[in-house]
Structure 1
Amino acid sequence: MPNDELKERSRQVLAQLDGEITLDGLGEPVEVIRDRWGVPHIYAQNQHDLFFAQGFIAAQDRLFQIDLWRRMAVGEMAEIEGSAGIEADRFARLVKYRGDLDEEWQSYSPDTQDIATSFTDGINAYIDHIGDRLPIEFEELNYRPQKWEPADCLGRMSGVVMSRNFQLEPQRAKLVAEVGIEKARMLAPADPPLDCEPPDGLNLDDIDPAKILAGLNAATAARPFSRDDGSNNWVINAARSESGKPLLASDPHRAIELPSLRYLVHLNAPGWNVIGSGEPALPGVACGHNERIAWGFTIICTDQADLYVEETHPDDPTRYRVGDDWEPMEIIQEQITVRGSNQPVELELRYTRHGPVIHQDESRNRAFALRWVGGEAGGAAYLASLAVDRANNWEEFRDSLKRWKMPSENMVYADIDGNIGWVAAAMTPVRDNSDGLFPVPGADGNHEWQRFLDIDELPQIFNPPDHIATANHNILPDDYPHAIAYEWAPNYRYHRILERLQTPGKFTLDDMQSIQHDSVSLAGRELAQLAGQFTCDDDDSETCRQMFADWDGELSRDSRVGPLYAFWLEALLQECFSRHVSTELMPFVAGQRGIPVMLPALREPTAEWFGDDPTAERNRILRETLEQAVAETKTALGADMAIWRWDRLHTVTFHHALSARDAERADTFNRGPIGQAGDGLCPNATRYETPFGQISGASYRHLFDLADWDSGLATSAPGQSGQPESEHYDDLLELWQRDEYFPLLYSREAVEEAASHRLQLKPK
């Protein structure tokens, strides 16, 4: 279909946003007011109708997106992708929750099953209502969306991806096998410091990270999953606020997607009045405020998963050692329907007492089983927000977080009474004889999870004298008794936020906006100091060195130093780490987490890093890598340094799923490229991969002054709708590009004033 025809067809199937729609399944009329920014404000007369309407409205805006997500979660991608989706389906089914469903539903809140039923009934009502007038993506791919079941809200795929530690365990084991314990500790230190010794009985030769993680990598290839490293949040108490009430800021980061990962909604019914963002495939609001409290989150990096190396029987790979005995694996047989094939694919899913077998090496008689929080009741990501949405005070907020299992989140809190707080919300295992950094032997029973921390044992703060801020960094108090994690994001973002929050005076929402978009890199400042430690031989490189030495670390869009900094940092990481490890391990040690390891080593060079004459070797590396960076910047941007700009290199493109399948569709579906400021280490975290295209960022931002809910601000991109010709497909992108916000309106009066569309949903 030509692009013009595609656009016209897209317009013909746009969702109805005004007038009346009569539906089976509703008890009472529901009013949906969309404001000028596309945020639906849903006013219902009872809880069932509220969530029925939320499902219906989410499907209006995001049906293709949520259908893909459902398929990824339950393992039905091969039905539309053919054989290319088989491995993704296998892994999704492997990590599916297999426990008691009654216990699962009750763990979120007593009425979660009813809410999920109403929500999915609403999605199905929309599918029935539109008939063949499906969003254009279904026509392009020639398939129809599946009907939903309540259990489709219980998927585990997003949670397993965010359980990052188990993905690092085999890489750390490989590092120790390659360079030894001492050098591994130097190149990839634990925080707080730890010996980092593999457990007794672990044969490092058994560990092949690429093979162990192949299933996970295949399962996530279709969607740009990422953890939210880059997220920031903070809360300021009433004494530091100009309004006399707390201020709360949050900007959870994830992969850049189109449509956005987040969906904004306002839910209003008896017992409900909550607004903010969530994921369109789930009921409720994950991050926002109700009438009395506000909250926001960032990943806290709690270690919620372990790999167990099981010894399998040499004559029967479905039996594995437990102590002195051999136990049978639990085996589940399933079938996958594959597009283009007349025969389903037969799957054999294997489980040990520790969890699903994600990889098996029969030549070595080894199986790798995943023990993770997602295997426990209540492990579906974000569904416990249904309890948080209804909390009215600190005690109820903490009580609701007993139900929050994963992902692990720094939950910051504020209420209209002037209180602020923070809880490290997560189902947090207590390990026996294990620090969680390596795979552990599964047979001897010496490395089992003993229990989970109670809510009173989790790290938390209530009413500190000034503020609370988190940025995926190690936020644990020095005297905290439990080892919940040893791997965190670099703390540069946190320390820059702290610099801003410690300035004298009182704060406003304008100040909060400025901090969220702060593009000062403290890592860049450290590197600028190193630029004074040497000189360059050629004139252009020496000019750049002097320019760099005078740099304040500001990665603004028009920064001339920005491109040079990015190329130099990449060259330094390559030079400093490749002298110690193989190419296979470079992503593990020399990624973003390698920067706070490398910069101190460059500042105080040692023989362990740089050989017999460490200072001379350090200076050689600094000089030659800078000269390399100058040459690469010239190649990328031209020889005229006056026209160098960071946003010419550092851009973001919002890619729609269909554009990856058909490049001719890119102009219709994609948006961008857009020049960006910042990098992965600034508060304005715009993480990139070489050649510097942004891959993750703020999926949503909100700012609340608890003195006035209608003063709340938000930003999201590119828009609320996933339908390409909708007015709300990309209408928020210009604001987002300009670092501006739109009002997140709460009172009925303010919503009425900004109303753009009115839809009445009525029962038949």
Structure 2
Amino acid sequence: MKTVKYLLFGLVILVLAAPPLYHLFFRIALPEYAGGLSLEGISEPVEVHTDEFGIPHVFAKNEQDLFFAQGYLTARERLFQMDLARLAGRGELSSVLGEVTLEKDKFLRTVGFYRRAQEVMDSLPPRTAQAILDYTRGVNAYIETVEYLPREYLFLGARPQEWTPEDSVVITLLMSYSLTRSKKIDLVLHQIGQKAGEEVLAALIPSYPEFAPTLTGAKPASFDQGPQEAMLTDASSRKGPGINDFFDMETPASNWMIFSGSWTKSGKPLFAGSPDLEPTLPALFYIMHLNGGDYNVMGGALPGCPGIGPLGFNGDIAWSAVNGRGDELDYFIEKTNPDEPGQYLTEDGYKDFALISETIRVKDGDEYREVPLEIKVSRHGPIISAVMPLAPENCAMQWAALDIEKPWDIHGLLAMNRASNFDEFRQALSNVKTMNLNLGYADKNGNIGWQFTASPPIRKSGGGALPVLGWTGRHEWTGFIPFEKLPFDYNPEKGYTASFNNEPGNAPYHLTNYYLFERAIRFDEIIRELGDQKVDQSKIMEMQTDTISVVAKRWKPLVLEACENAEGVNECRDLIKAWNCGVNVDSCAATVFNVFYYKMMENTLRDEVGDQIWSEELSQPYLYYVPDLALTKILHDPDHAFFDDAGTPAVKENRNDIVIRSLKQTKEILEDLLGDDPAQWQWGRVHQMHFNHPLGSKLPMLNLKPIPTQGSHHTINSGFWDWDPENPFRMRSGGVIRMAVDFSRGDKATIVSPPGQSGHYLSPYYANQAQLWAEGRQAPMHYTDAKSLAQILTLNPI
């Protein structure tokens, strides 16, 4: 009996002790934000003032100490995130995560991100190379001195390796690859051509609509795609699951909006930027203020890289990036020598593949095993058929980032951090040759503008939308469009400019098939609605969070017309009829329309492209613009062949038939998902942002509770979602960092980067920006008054 009592007593003690021990386990690794630290590697004291959102304002007396401090401070909040990114760049994820990431590592090694990073680091100008070295020293100072590593390392039984300068470079290359639009769509279009034929393919290859706005107002250059010769080959494609690359962040809906003083209440420029990416936990960017040497800049830093990245403010200028959506990646199908598989055909005869042998280390419990990898490289690039689903056999990937001279993106971004006028801004960006961006600009002297970056190839023929035959020589790259000829604009006559991943309108040559246009149409509507009204910072932030869907406005009258006398759709029809087309969390009509439009696209195109291509590719968020554009093109042709269902050969359906079918299916789906009462179908019940930790599938407590969010694919306040049968409407991307600057009041500039600054679970800064962001609000930047912040940490030299 006594034994039972002792066991019960012990159990009670354990239950009572568990919560404190749980909190102690996680909190013991949290950094301090006040006091002093002595570090070897800095020459003079560095002050770090941290605000209420965990944003550090770093004050150093020289550049070397500034970047050392940036590396140290970033590592102490984001080391595990940085480590995963550089392991991806190295193709060494499996050394920590095991078999589950082996296919990723094979892909990463085959492309050769780290091989390229080593070449880049060796060529960088001295000032930039020194900044990376100083940043590296700071990261390693944290790794060497930290008493309690981030808890993820304990769960994985791992330790971080020493950081190297190449690790910083490779992270920028991964970002550049993620911004390359054609890496997936080209292979999907190839499959459509193989399975559906040339006519369907021609209708689905994206092209910019004539009615869509361009940045300059001019019409885009016309372009003939040319013969799709590779579509006619019988090249088979590799099947299998996609490479769910955590670093492969799609960027479907970024924006920036800029007004000159002629449009503003203050008479000074207004600037708002919102790069939209797939959410991460911790946040993709780390907000910092860096003051030292020639730098006094604040914005979003990419963890692992010195300086401030694609969104920032330095007192003189502000900038923000959208994806330029250019096409700098092509696929070439090579023909191997039947007598010698180590050779491939060219117009001048057979040539030898370059061969690279690598070994991937794979963790297996407490042991490791080695997996050999043989990589073949043709004149067009690495052969990726074995590591990229949908790629034809013997398919080479030619990517500009692997070919261009001096891909000095870090150098260009650091120079942009220091720029004080448009000429310096453009000169800095002339070095950004791998990141495919369009950066908006404004300055304190009243000027506004923008500049495209990257290295569009000059092709002998064709537009790069499909894999082509590699042995003919007809589609070779002959060089790259020089920076001086890339699109830009400065002080446009209309007094404002805005980008929503749309066509610039002033490029006399073909850049891409993949521009977006829906949100640009909505911005033009807002401009018309303004009339003579002047704009202030609150107004431009309201524009950032606008939720009106122009696609819904386009389809609403057609839905009401088709369903006027239809049976079984009354509830859905009535909700749409009374709706203002705002995709808000409390709107039931927004839910109805989003389901309807998805089913409308599916019912129109699934029979044309086949079940597999629809469900695995065209229905996914990153390719959503393809079926959306296809429907937009045939919208006013009610008897278009696409509306006829190939599965019902005895009946010829038209647009109205498909509208009614889609709306009936919508009703069934929502009743199953949310119940029979349409008043309970609010958008916020299903459309939610999930901030999930990389280890969250095994350690769910690290994930955040889903947050109801506004917007959809087509709204300026973007909310791209995924039709996941287990979690439909789960939000897949949004404005992962936002900023608003009124140049008449730099002290009122604001910024937000959800979910928070810290990667440490239970940190007060782990998720304290998530709800702020979801509500469309931002935090004060404290750019001008950071010295008054009371939370001060001093880094002292030893």
Give TM class, smaller chain. Answer: over 0.9
SS at match of 2:608: coil
Question: Whole-Å Cα distance in 1 between the matches of residues 279 and 202 of structure 2?
Answer: 33
1:274 to 297, 300, 303: 297
Q: Distance in 1 between matches of 2:551 and 2:260?
A: 29
- Aligned AA (1:350): K
1:354 aligns with 2:380: yes
Tell me the residue number matched to 1:71. 87
Q: Residue 400 of structure 2 corresponds to which residue in structure 1?
A: 373
What residue in structure 2 maps to residue 138 of structure 1?
153
Alpha-carbon distance, 1:70 to partner: 0.9
SS at match of 2:319: strand
Matches for 1:476-495 after TM superposition, within 5 Å? 476-477=505-506, 480-489=507-516, 491-495=517-521
Q: Does residue 406 of structure 1 match 2:434?
A: yes
State the identity %. 29
**Contact 1:360/1:368, CA 8 A, preserved across alignment:** no
Aligned to 2:3: none
Q: State whether structure 2 residue 500 is matched by structure 1 residue 471.
A: yes
Aligned equivalent of 1:684, options 678, 702, 717: 717
Contact map agreement 1:106 1:112 (CA 8 A) in 2 = no
The equivalent residue for 1:104 is: 120
Change in 2 beyond 3 A, CA 1:483/1:107? farther
1:538 offset after TM fit, Å?
Answer: 7.0
Paired position in structure 1 for 2:792: 758
Once the two structures are superposed, what CA deviation does each residue of 1:676-730 show, in whole Å capped at 9, x if it has no partner? 1111110000110121010111110001111222111111111100001111111
What aligned pairs does 1:36-435 form with structure 2 within 5 A after superposition?
36-97=52-113, 104-105=120-121, 110-131=126-147, 133-155=148-170, 156-191=173-208, 196-200=225-229, 203-208=232-237, 210=239, 217-218=242-243, 220-221=244-245, 223=246, 225-286=248-309, 287-340=311-364, 341-359=367-385, 366-375=393-402, 376-379=404-407, 384-435=412-463
What's the CA shift for 1:103?
7.0
1:498 aligned residue: 524
Q: Which residue in the other structure is 2:484 paired with?
A: 456
**Distance 1:656-1:390 versus aligned 2 partners, 3 A rule:** same
What is the alpha-carbon distance in structure 2 between the residues aligned to residue 32 and residue 546 of structure 1?
57
How far off its partner does 1:357 sit? 1.4
Task: Determine the structure 1 residue equivalent to 2:639.
Answer: 606
Is the contact between residue 97 and residue 374 of structure 1 (CA under 8 Å) also seen in structure 2?
Answer: no
Encode CA deviations 1:249-299: one digit per residue, 9 max, x unaligned. Answer: 110011111101011011111211110002111111011111311111100
Question: Residue 356 and residue 4 in structure 1: after superposition, are their counterparts in 2 closer, same or farther (change >3 A)?
Answer: farther
Q: Give the TM-score normalised by the residue count of structure 1.
A: 0.93
Specify whether residues 762 and 377 from structure 1 end up closer, same or farther in structure 2 by C-alpha distance, changes over 3 A only. farther
Question: How far 1:177 sits from its partner (Å)?
Answer: 2.5
Q: Determine the C-alpha separation between the residues in 2 that align with 1:731 and 1:271.
A: 32
Distance 1:335 1:688 in 2: 38
Q: Is the 8 A contact 1:283 1:383 kept in 2?
A: no
- Give distance in 2, aligned partners of 1:469 and 1:365: 39
C-alpha distance in 1, partners of 2:206/2:142?
52
Matches of 2:227 and 2:115 in 1, distance apart? 32
- State the AA in 2 paired with 1:154: V
The one-letter amino acid of 2:47's match is: E
Aligned to 2:718, the other structure's residue is in SS state coil
Distance 1:496 1:334, change over 3 A: same
Counterpart in the other structure of 2:545? 517
Question: 1:625-684 deviations in whole A, cap 9, x for unaligned?
Answer: 111111221222222222321101111221111211x1xx32x31112111111111000
Q: CA deviation at 1:109?
A: 5.0
Equivalent residue letter for 1:751: A
**Superposed displacement of residue 224, structure 1:** 5.9
Gap change, CA 1:109 and 1:512, over 3 Å in 2: farther
Moved more, 542-551 or 649-658: 542-551
Q: Is this contact kept in 2: 1:233–1:298, CA < 8 A?
A: yes
8 Å Cα contact 2:110/2:375 also seen in 1: yes
The alpha-carbon distance between structure 1 residues 333 and 744, as it changes in their structure 2 partners (threshold 3 A), is same
The alignment partner of 2:557 has SS state of: helix
Contact 2:117/2:169 (<8 A) preserved: no
Give the Cα separation in 2 of the matches to 1:575 and 1:712. 46
Q: 2:89·2:113 contact (CA, 8 Å) conserved in 1?
A: no
Q: Give SS of 1:21's match.
A: strand
- Whole-angstrom distance in 2 between the partners of 1:178 and 1:610: 19
Post-superposition Cα deviations, 1:405-450, rounded to whole Å, max 9, x if no partner, equal 1321111111111110111112221111121111122223221211
Deviates more, 1:521-530 or 1:156-165: 156-165
Q: Does the 8 A contact of 2:205 with 2:513 survive in 1?
A: no
- Pick closer, same or farther for the CA change 1:183–1:710 going to 2, 3 Å: same
8 Å Cα contact 2:275/2:736 also seen in 1:
yes
- Alpha carbon RMSD of aligned pairs, Å? 2.5
Structure 1 stretch 710-719 or stretch 380-389: which is displaced more? Answer: 380-389
Q: 1:107/1:697 Cα in 2 relative to 1: closer, same or farther (>3 Å)?
A: farther
The 8 Å contact of residues 153 and 281 in structure 1, kept in 2 or not, is answered as yes
How far apart are the structure 2 equivalents of 1:334 and 1:463? 51
Letter in 1 for 2:481: L
Amino acid of the structure 2 residue aligned with 1:244: G
- Aligned equivalents of 1:202 and 1:599: distance in 2? 25
